[in-house]
């Protein structure tokens, strides 16, 4: 059975420490040959800018060959089932298939049809494990490893966000206090501390993770105007004041709805550093999964 990564708790904390150690080294920007003669396929059924290119760059920086299946031109458009598509790709002998799909559970189900490692690059609102890993990595780096008891507010459309759901598990496991901040329509059922106004908690916070409104997953029942939402939840300079708070966002950012233009330029915003760290963390994840297969 190949090692797959479907959700954050597929990796124990010790393994995550080892992955972060490798990732720290890969921040040097160099090319390595750990995955020379390995073959990786990217299979994205949903749009992506960062995650797809980040995985492809990570694979190439480790010397792997990468094939991207253009789903729009594939036989899934001729009526082939998704699982037949995966089984056929697997029959070509890749070491890993990296999958993104709009439906929760698809990457996990593909593991039944494939011999190679399956890496979840985001499924519905279920999980986005490598995003949470790169977020935790960025937080640890910023606080030089001292993250026990740090307070993070996850702000926005938490209910529909796979980034939020993976981070809730991972950040809590590594000792952070997670506070959910969202209007009622975007709040999941939770036992975590939660509130609908960031101003109530901002003085306590060490980190804010702002999220995009996941309009593609709304069924028409969400009635909140962008303007009203932004008034209350947009992270602005005025809201942040001179507080020493690390500001994160997984992208894509809705400017002036999630975070203001001005705040994106502020040194407290580490959105692009997350992207840089993402390549190094994905290099370490791919190496771990593929070489664990022997
Ligand atoms: C996220 C995603 O696709 O889940 N983006 C990403 O991978 N960096 C978040 C989002 O789309 O809002």
pTM comes to 0.96
Here the tokens at position 18 are: 């080892």
- The pLDDT of residue 1: 64
251 Cα: distance to centroid of ligand 1 (angstroms): 6
Instruction: Say if residue 220's pLDDT is above 80.
Output: no
Q: Give burial (CB, 10 Å; 0-12/13-18/19+) of 37.
A: exposed
Compute the distance between CA of residue 267 and CA of residue 114 in angstroms, rounded to an integer: 44
- How many Cβ atoms are within 10 Å of 69's Cβ, its own excluded? 19
Quickly state the pLDDT bin for 17 (edges 50, 70, 90).
very high
Torsion of CA 45, 49, 51, 55, to 10 degrees: 100
Which amino acids are annotated catalytic?
50-51, 78, 100, 128
The pLDDT tens digits of the residues spanning 70-91 come to 887 777 777 888 899 999 999 9
Helices (H), the chain: 13-26, 50-61, 82-90, 106-110, 129-142, 162-173, 226-233, 237-240, 261-264, 271-292
Q: What is the pLDDT of residues 24-40, one digit of tens each?
A: 999 999 999 999 999 99
Query: Separation of 211 CA from ligand 1 center, angstroms?
Result: 9
For position 73, what pLDDT does the model report? 73
Which residue among 163, 270, 274 is best mutated to probe the pocket of ligand 1, counting the most ligand atoms within 8 A of its Cβ? 163
The Cα 259–Cα 261 span in angstroms is 7
3 CA distance to ligand 1 centroid (A)? 24
Residue 218 has pLDDT above 70, yes or no: yes
Closest CA to 209 of 174, 237, 168, 241: 168
Higher-confidence residue of 285 and 81: namely 285
Quick one: pLDDT at residue 294? Answer: 53
Is residue 171 pLDDT above 90, yes or no? yes
Say yes or no: CB of residue 126 within 6 Å of ligand 1.
no
Top mutation candidate among 122, 134, 254 for ligand 1, by most atoms within 8 Å of CB = 122
């Amino acid at each position: 059975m190949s090692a797959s990564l479907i959700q954050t708790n597929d990796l124990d904390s010790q393994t995550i420490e080892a992955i972060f150690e490798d990732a720290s080294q890969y921040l040097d920007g160099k090319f390595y040959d750990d995955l020379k003669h390995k073959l990786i396929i990217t299979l994205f059924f949903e749009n992506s800018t960062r995650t797809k290119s980040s995985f492809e760059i990570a694979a190439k920086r480790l010397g792997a060959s990468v094939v991207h299946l253009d789903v729009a031109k594939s036989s899934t458009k001729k009526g082939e089932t998704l699982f037949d598509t995966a089984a056929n790709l697997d029959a070509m002998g890749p070491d890993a298939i990296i999958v993104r799909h709009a439906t929760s559970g698809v990457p996990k189900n593909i593991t039944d049809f494939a011999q190679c490692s399956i890496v979840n690059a985001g499924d519905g609102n279920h999980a986005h494990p490598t995003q949470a890993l790169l977020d935790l990595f960025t937080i640890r780096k910023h606080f030089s490893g001292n993250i026990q008891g740090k307070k993070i507010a996850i702000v926005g459309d938490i209910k529909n966000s796979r980034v939020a759901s993976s981070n809730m598990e991972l950040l809590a496991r590594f000792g952070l206090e997670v506070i959910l901040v969202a209007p009622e329509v975007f709040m999941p059922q939770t036992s975590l501390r939660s509130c609908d106004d960031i101003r109530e908690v901002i003085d306590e916070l060490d980190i804010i993770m702002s999220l995009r409104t996941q309009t593609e997953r709304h069924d028409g029942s969400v009635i909140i105007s962008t303007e009203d939402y932004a008034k209350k939840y947009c992270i602005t300079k005025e809201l942040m004041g001179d507080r020493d708070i690390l500001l994160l966002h997984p992208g894509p950012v809705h400017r002036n709805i999630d975070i203001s233009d001005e705040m994106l330029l502020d040194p407290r915003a580490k959105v692009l550093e997350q992207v840089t760290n993402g390549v190094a963390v994905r290099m370490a994840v791919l190496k771990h999964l593929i070489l664990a297969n022997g």
